[in-house]
Amino acid sequence: MKGGQYSEFPSMKAEDLEQGDVVPNYDFRGLYTTVLEDWMGLDGKPIVDGSFEKLPIFAK
C-alpha cells in the first residue's frame, strides 16, 4: 500500500458545511473499484454500477 492523501481536505468552514456536517469530496466507488480490480482481480463495474477513477494506492 502507498500511504498518503488522495483527495482534497474537506472545508471545515461553517458556510461550507451541510446541516453541520462535512461535505464529502470523493466518491468512494472509486476506492471500491480500486480494491476490487487491483487487489482482488475482479471486474468492479457490475459491483459499483459503472466506471470510476481508481486511486494509485497499491505498490506494483
> What is the pTM assigned to this prediction?
0.76
The per-residue pLDDT of the chain, averaged, comes to: 93
CA distance 44 to 9: 26
Domain ranges of the chain: 28-59
| Burial track 17-32 (b if 16+ CB lie within 10 A, e otherwise) | eeeeeeeeeeeebbbe
Question: Over the stretch 30-59, which tens digit does the pLDDT of each residue have?
Answer: 999 999 999 999 999 999 999 999 999 998
